[in-house]
Amino acid sequence: MAKAQPVTHPYASPWVNEEIQLFRKTVKRFIQDEYVPHEARWREQHHVDPEAWTKAGEVGILLTDVPEEFGGGGGDYCHEAVVTEELCYAGVHFGHGVHSIAAHYILDYGTDDQKRYWLPQMATGELIGSIAMTEPVAGSDLQNIKTRAIRQGECLLINGSKTFITNGWHTNLIVLAVKTGEAAAGAKGISLVVVDTRGLQGYRVGRTLEKVGMHGQDTCELFFDDVRVPAANLLGGEEGRGFYQMMEQLPYERMGVGVGATATTEQAVAITIKHCKDRMAFGKTLMEFQNTRFKLAECKAQAHIMRVFLDNCIERLVAGKLDTPTAAMAKYWLTERECAIIDECVQLHGGYGYMMEYPITRMWADSRVQRIYAGTNEIMKELIARSL
């Protein structure tokens, strides 16, 4: 009598429909053909080539969730998630996520003319967006920024500096956090200004910062010395709205971090399973040792839980129902699990897990910052605690 085969029901993300599957194939093929062959060189030079942006624009993977009337792809956050996932699966660090965040600030708070002028150029990769909030003395403490913008007639005069700016090497369109009110005004004194840097006097890109990981993604210092921009570039049309605009947009940014954390973890577990099936020790594969199997079982189970939670958050974001505490939970918990699981995967690689030529090692180095940027995980806990 034939032995009954076990029935398996592989999990499929509920937001992935046929159209998303076709889009994923396009994205995966593009990344494998156009980005992966250059990834090692990009890590060496600490930034991607400028052509990486325009090629991404040509194939339609920039601003995928921005309406078509403004040059975007006309999709929703599911399309953005696919791009993020496929970049993570391929181990390519390309600042499309920050570019999209900058676009959403303009989409949600810009005038119709601003949206029709800037967003189509961002969709083609002609304009490369960045978010400039962090300063040497103000990381998560955004209320303490020192960069100032003083109104002079129809212009804003900007002085100050920013650090840890993703896309800083290439950026030519910056959503800049500045103080426009009195120093003691706190959150009410912060505004956001869009700075188009093309031919702009007084603007300067500083050194490319040497990071622990994510070497292919440029991170720079930016300097503003008597920079003049039109006062009309103030997002929202009035001063003092910046802090609240940032708080409204941060759930979108934190979801991007969560998507990357989950996809990277899934890839780390997959390559570690393969390594343990291939690697021999004491006359048998690593997978034949109970400790290896149990460790990988723990990693696989936790990665699956990460995916299910993430999928729920994506559906809520698309439906416009993702609240700030839940986004904070996603950013905090998914990145904590990412770092813990990848560390286990490094251990299972043995000495090879400490060699930068191995993908698992680069994942380990790249992932550490996930618990820091977009608001440290300690700040995430504070946001969650406020909702209790």
Query: How far is the C-alpha of 278 from the C-alpha of 81, rounded, in Å?
Result: 32
What mean pLDDT comes out for the span 274-297?
96
pLDDT of residue 141: 73
- As given in the structure block, the two tokens for residue 141 are 């403490």
- Taking only the tens place, the pLDDT of each residue in 123-134 is 999 999 999 999
For residue 66, pLDDT beyond 50? yes
- Taking only the tens place, the pLDDT of each residue in 22-63 is 999 999 999 999 999 999 999 999 999 999 999 999 999 999
First to last CA, the chain: 58
For residue 327, pLDDT beyond 50? yes
Model confidence at 299, pLDDT cuts 50, 70, 90, reads very high
CB neighbour list of residue 297: distance below 8 Å, 6 or more residues apart: none
pLDDT of residue 238: 86
> Chain-wide mean pLDDT for the chain?
94
Q: What is the maximum alpha-carbon separation in the chain?
A: 89
What mean pLDDT comes out for the span 5-15?
77
- Taking only the tens place, the pLDDT of each residue in 362-377 is 999 999 999 999 989 9
CA angle 58–61–64, rounded 5-degree value: 120
Q: 39, 253, 266, 338: which is the annotated catalytic residue?
A: 253
Q: At what angle do helices 77-90 and 96-109 cross, to 10 degrees?
A: 160
- Taking only the tens place, the pLDDT of each residue in 179-235 is 997 765 777 889 999 999 999 999 999 989 999 999 999 999 999 999 999 999 999
- Taking only the tens place, the pLDDT of each residue in 300-315 is 999 999 999 999 999 9
Residue 47 · residue 169 · CB < 8 Å:
yes
Query: How far is the C-alpha of 133 from the C-alpha of 105, rounded, in Å?
Result: 13
Residue 189 · residue 18 · CB < 8 Å:
no
pLDDT of residue 138: 74
Residue 359 · residue 271 · CB < 8 Å:
yes
For residue 6, pLDDT beyond 90? no
- As given in the structure block, the two tokens for residue 110 are 């810009």
**253 included as an active-site residue:** yes
Using a pLDDT cut of 70, give the percent of the chain over it.
Answer: 96
From the CB of residue 7, how many other CB atoms can be counted at a distance below 10 Å? 5
pLDDT of residue 188: 84
Spatial CA neighbour of 166 closest among 378, 377, 386, 370: 370
